[in-house]
């Protein structure tokens, strides 16, 4: 099954993740696992690549979505839920449950950008994605990886934390300087959470089958490199708290294309322009030489 055929299905499956904690990944795992590329198309030359740059904007009239409080802590034993933060950490904030933020220009940070529907699935060596516990909070709030990568969590505080990822049967307590590692061997979406001793916020871990993905930065911008040229490629913008927005692009070797995508929070039904979910091309940028790559849904 081609990756693009599962794009909408993935969004629908994940639409239920807003209200869940660590148990919301089963159907999402299946959808992401089926979002494969390279089926039923002839391969294109590996050297024919291009670049997409762009921004992601929130739909007009929408407000930033938040995770519910109960999805911010791992339930290990029921009577230890809602443990208080250590005195050394800043008190809880509303933004702790809002992993996506809006810039002064109205652009969205921490949004997943991914390509799909390309003919030949690119490969890369496995990498390690680092997450740290600082001020009783996991940083960064989102990790987009490829199957075979490793997730490594490091505690930087003088307080014990118990981070867990996915359906890990063993919970390890980390003191300052210690690390917890998990092999990302299953495509899907699952949170990294802490429990029992104290909460540590939440990091959404999204595992894909290819490396053509990235996230928007602190300015709401992204750059996706090494895209296959000369064929129709689906480009998607997504986050577990938002609907998916997608467009199809066709690039020439060495081309740099600029796009703008608009996202709507899950459950938002305000009046928005008819084309709000349609990515819009920006001013054309000068052609660039072949470039390297980076981290979204499929």
- Percentage, residues of the chain above pLDDT 70: 70
Of 237, 228, 235, 226, whose CA–CA distance to 293 is shortest? 226
State the CATH class of domain 1-65+100-119+211-298: mainly beta
Q: Supply 218's token pair.
A: 């602190």
202-208/179-183 β-pairing:
unpaired
Cα gap 15→281, rounded to integer Å = 27
- Extents of the domains making up the chain: 1-65+100-119+211-298, 68-95+123-209
Average pLDDT of 175-203?
A: 92
**Does the pLDDT value for residue 242 go beyond 80?**
yes
Q: Which residue has the higher pLDDT, 78 or 230?
A: 230
Mean pLDDT rounded to a whole number for the chain: 78
Confidence at residue 39, expressed as pLDDT on a 0 to 100 scale: 33
> Phi/psi zone of residue 110: left (φ > 0), alpha (ψ -120 to 50 degrees), beta?
left
**Residue 171: band (very low, low, confident or very high) from pLDDT cuts 50, 70, 90:** confident
Confidence at residue 70, expressed as pLDDT on a 0 to 100 scale: 86
Instruction: Check if 1-65+100-119+211-298 and 68-95+123-209 are the same fold.
Output: yes
Q: What architecture is the 68-95+123-209 domain classified under in CATH?
A: Sandwich (2.60)
């Amino acid at each position: 099954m081609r990756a693009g055929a599962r794009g909408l299905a993935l969004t629908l499956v994940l639409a239920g993740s807003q209200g869940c904690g660590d148990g919301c990944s089963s159907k999402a795992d299946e959808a992401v696992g089926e979002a494969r590329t390279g089926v039923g198309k002839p391969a294109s030359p590996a050297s024919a690549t291009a670049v997409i740059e762009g921004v992601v904007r929130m739909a007009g009239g929408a407000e930033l979505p938040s995770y519910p409080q109960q999805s911010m802590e791992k339930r290990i034993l029921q009577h230890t839920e809602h443990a208080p933060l250590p005195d050394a950490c800043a008190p809880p904030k509303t933004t702790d449950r809002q992993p996506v933020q809006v810039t002064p220009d109205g652009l969205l940070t921490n949004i997943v950008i991914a390509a799909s529907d390309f003919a030949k699935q690119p490969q890369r060596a496995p990498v390690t994605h680092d997450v740290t516990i600082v001020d009783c909070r996991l940083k960064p709030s989102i990790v987009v990886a490829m199957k075979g990568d490793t997730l490594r969590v490091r505690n930087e505080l003088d307080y014990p934390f118990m981070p867990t990822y996915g359906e890990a049967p063993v919970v390890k307590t980390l003191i300052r300087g210690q690390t917890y590692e998990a092999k990302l061997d299953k495509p899907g979406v699952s949170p990294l959470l802490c429990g029992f001793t104290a909460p540590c916020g939440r990091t959404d871990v999204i595992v894909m089958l290819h490396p053509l993905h990235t996230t928007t930065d602190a300015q709401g911008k992204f750059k996706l490199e090494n895209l296959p040229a000369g064929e129709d490629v689906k480009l998607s913008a997504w986050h577990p708290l938002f609907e998916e927005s997608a467009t199809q692009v066709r690039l020439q070797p060495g081309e740099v294309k600029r796009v703008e995508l608009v996202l709507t929070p899950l459950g938002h039904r305000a009046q928005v322009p008819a084309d709000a979910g349609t990515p819009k091309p920006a001013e054309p940028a000068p052609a660039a030489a072949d470039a390297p790559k980076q981290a979204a849904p499929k």
